[in-house]
C-alpha cells in the first residue's frame, strides 16, 4: 500500500504561518493530493486539493513539487481555532484501483496564544 508520512505534531503561535509537509513517494500518475482538517468528535473537513505546482484558496495554499513525491500545506496567520489534526490523502497506487483513499497519520497542530 502507498504510504504517506507526516510529522506527528507541530506547535505554533497565533498569527504565524504554518507549513505541514506530507511525503508520498508512491503517488500514482492520476492521483490528486488532498488535505483535510479534523476537530475532536467531528468528521474530517476538506481544506484544499491539488495535482501539481501550487493551489490557493481562501484558507490555505498547497505546494506540490514537480516530482509530486511530497506536498506542503501552508496555513497563513493561524488562530486558536486552527488547532486540529491535519491529514494528507492520496490515492493508493497498489490497489488495482485508486479508489482506496488512504489517510496519512495526521499532524496535530496546536496553536497557542
Partner 1 sequence: NAGVTQTPKFRVLKTGQSMTLLCAQDMNHEYMYWYRQDPGMGLRLIHYSVGEGTTAKGEVPDGYNVSRLKKQNFLLGLESAAPSQTSVYFCASSERQGRKLFFGSGTQLSVL
Q: Give the interface with partner 1 as residue ranges (CB under 8 A).
A: 1, 30-32, 34, 36, 41-46, 49, 85, 87, 89, 91, 97-106
- C-beta closer to partner 1: residue 61 or 105: 105
CB of 36 to partner 1, least distance (A): 7
- C-beta closer to partner 1: residue 63 or 95: 95
- Which of these, 31, 11, 14, 2, lies nearest to 110 by C-alpha position? 11
Question: CA-CA distance, 105 to 87, in Å (whole number)?
Answer: 7
Q: How far is CA 7 from CA 35, 85, 94, in A?
A: 14, 11, 24
Query: Using CB atoms within 10 A of its CB, is residue 66 exposed (0-12), middle (13-18) or buried (19+)?
Result: exposed
- C-beta closer to partner 1: residue 29 or 113: 29
CB of 28 to partner 1, least distance (A): 9
CB of 93 to partner 1, least distance (A): 11
Amino acid at each position: 500500500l502507498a504510504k504517506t508520512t507526516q510529522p506527528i505534531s507541530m506547535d505554533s503561535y497565533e498569527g504565524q504561518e504554518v507549513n505541514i509537509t506530507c511525503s508520498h513517494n508512491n503517488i500514482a500518475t492520476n492521483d490528486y493530493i488532498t488535505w483535510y482538517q479534523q476537530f475532536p468528535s467531528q468528521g474530517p473537513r476538506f481544506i484544499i486539493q491539488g495535482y501539481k505546482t501550487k493551489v490557493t484558496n481562501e484558507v490555505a495554499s498547497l505546494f506540490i513539487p514537480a516530482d509530486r513525491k511530497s506536498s506542503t500545506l501552508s496555513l497563513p496567520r493561524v488562530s486558536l481555532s486552527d488547532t486540529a489534526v491535519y491529514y494528507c490523502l492520496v490515492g493508493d497506487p497498489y490497489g488495482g484501483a485508486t479508489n482506496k483513499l488512504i489517510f496519512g497519520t495526521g499532524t496535530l497542530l496546536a496553536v497557542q496564544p
